[in-house]
């Protein structure tokens, strides 16, 4: 994968979130990750986006993330916003291919209190 694709993704997320919300949203970093449990995915660190914004614009955010995933040829099971615990500030947008253990953890409607699920793959929807 070329780094310019990640740079373009970072710019697109920042610009689109600013256009959706009318607020200054900063994306300091985007990354591809692999976890010890077996999950992998794409993460955009976010500053200036609130949970309410993510709820209101979840369809636009999901469409934007899925377009980026297509460009970087990545398939995922779930797209979610993660807030800083105890606040309404979103600190990350994550698209994640789940390992078998985490598929069970994320199969409920609200897997964790700090996560707002924006989109799920068909396999996860069947298990709810």
User: Hey, where are the domains in the chain?
Assistant: 3-121
Token representation of residue 73:
């040829």
Top pLDDT among 113 and 9 is at: 9
Q: How far is CA 36 from CA 86, 99, 102, 112, in A?
A: 27, 10, 12, 19
In angstroms, the CA 92 to CA 49 distance is 9
In angstroms, the CA 8 to CA 120 distance is 24
**Each residue of 80-120: pLDDT tens digit?**
999 998 899 999 999 999 999 999 888 776 678 889 999 98
**Each residue of 29-67: pLDDT tens digit?**
999 999 999 999 999 999 999 999 999 999 999 999 999
Task: Give the contacts of 53 (CB within 8 A, at least 6 positions apart).
Answer: 17, 20, 21, 23, 90
Q: What is the pLDDT of residue 1?
A: 59
Residue 26 reports pLDDT greater than 80: yes
Q: Give the confidence band of 69 by pLDDT, cuts at 50, 70, 90.
A: very high
Angle at 73 between CA 127 and CA 77, to 5 degrees: 10
Lowest mean pLDDT among 9-18, 65-74, 116-125: 116-125
In angstroms, the CA 92 to CA 90 distance is 6
């Amino acid at each position: 994968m070329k780094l310019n694709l990640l740079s373009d993704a970072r710019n697109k997320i920042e610009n689109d979130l600013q256009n959706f919300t009318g607020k200054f949203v900063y994306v300091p970093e985007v990354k591809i990750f692999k976890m010890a449990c077996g999950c992998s995915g794409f993460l955009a660190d976010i500053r200036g986006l609130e949970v309410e914004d993510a709820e209101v614009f979840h369809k636009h955010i999901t469409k934007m993330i899925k377009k980026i995933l297509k460009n970087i040829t990545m398939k995922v099971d779930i797209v979610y916003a993660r807030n800083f615990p105890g606040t309404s500030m979103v600190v990350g947008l994550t698209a994640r291919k789940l390992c078998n253990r985490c598929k069970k953890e994320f199969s409920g409607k609200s897997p964790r209190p700090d996560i707002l699920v924006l989109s799920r793959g068909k396999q996860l929807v069947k298990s709810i």
